[in-house]
Amino acid sequence: EKVIVLCREKCSVELYSEMEEDFYSLLDGVETDCPPEEMDAEDPLFILYTSGTTGMPKGIVHTCGGYATGVHYTTRYIFDLKENDVLWCTADTGWITGHSYIVYGPLSAGATVVITETTPDWPDPGIWWSIIEELGVTIFYTAPTAIRMFMRVGEEWPNKYNLDSLRIIGSVGEPLNPEAFEWYYRVIGKNRIPVLDTWWQTETGMHMITTPLGEPMKPGFAGLPVPGIEVDVVDKDGNSMPPGQGGLLVIKKPWPSMMRTVYRNDERYRKYWNQIRNYYTAGDLAVKDNDGYIMILGRSDDIIIVAGHNLGTAEVESALVEHEAVAEAAVIGVPDEIKGQAVKAFVILVKGYEPSQKLVSELTYHVRMSIGPIAMPASIEFVDSLPRTRSGKIMRRILKAKEMNMDLGDTSTLEE
């Protein structure tokens, strides 16, 4: 009903009187003391809408006790929180990563937290590294989107700054492809700092899979289940898949910070649990290796079926990004009269490279050699940006809808 406007600096904004209120005018005559309300552990804490990568956003309901337990535990132990740490999670505070690892988790653990309003490239691509140097950040948690952007602009920017304060660097939001992992570890981590790739969701509230500190890191693999979490890769009937064979990612037992329902849509909530044997079905494709490490292949609804062969979008995108000219890529399936579906790729180029038919041929051949002929893009479109959510996930359904001249659907969680 109302929008509260906080004017921090000199501004002469005229408020739209019917719906906008000045923050400071609301403080006039109000007691400064505000006793906290006592809440039951299962009382709702917040409702957060998921990114809507598969359609209409869902209102995920988290509760006071369980959510706080999960984010406190993972902040302290996954990030190995020490007394003098300075934690900087670059996420938007309005989304689950910001909720969990800027606000609730770190503050409940008494951590020193950096909160900024910066974008990674303004006023120049060195701004984040200057903040790390200036504030002595020790734990840095960001998204693959940002990492790939920094790869695109070059190593000279982070190399201008002293990043010796860092002791842990993490990634969140989508799979960290091996090339980005290696760059992050080498350029930002100086070949000495562990990289925590983390898999979790708005629905889970907290980290579910990561590589524990001290354990071997495997680029491309999110890691192992967090202690207390039972994760597996299964077929559609719930049977555990052997190492090396892809399947559906499930969580076999409840955990403290799991969502309690979908707001005003309990039936939609139950679908998470009744698709496979009362396991929680994450909606992601994954594969595990002989050590139990789990690699996320992409959303199960991001499968492209080419002539009967299942392709995960992540594996094709990773193959494209391996090429030195490619900063970022997204692929979708488009109708094909013979194959059923064909692969179309949208590619952002590294600075210094220009679109050309020769480059299209090079990239197509590169995918062929990396995965096989079945994965070769039928077409490649060079773009300047990709539609993504504010949490950093690429909205492939938007690309597909645009390609097919269909309604874009709900775009309320798009970054732009």
The three-point CA angle 51-343-365 to 5° equals 125
The whole-angstrom separation of Cα 77 and Cα 109 is 10
pLDDT at 279: 96
Residues 6+ apart with CB under 8 A from 37: none
Angle between helix 357-370 and 313-322 (nearest 10): 120
pLDDT at 297: 84
Nearest residue to 4 via CA among 12, 18, 19, 14: 19
Please report which confidence band the pLDDT of residue 320 belongs to, taking 50, 70 and 90 as the band edges.
very high
- Residues 292, 227 contacting (CB under 8 angstroms): no
pLDDT at 416: 63
Q: What is the mean pLDDT of the chain?
A: 90
Measured in whole angstroms, how far is the alpha carbon of residue 332 from the centre of its chain?
Answer: 19
Instruction: Decide if pLDDT at 53 tops 60.
Output: no
pLDDT at 307: 67
Place of tokens 């860092």: 166
Q: Determine if the pTM surpasses 0.85.
A: no
Please tell me whether the peptide bond between 335 and the residue prior to it is cis, using omega within 30 degrees of 0: no
The b-or-e profile of 207-230 (16+ CB within 10 A means b, else e) is bbbbbbeeeeebbbbbbbbbeebe
Instruction: Decide if pLDDT at 333 tops 80.
Output: yes
Which structure tokens are listed for 186? 């080498």
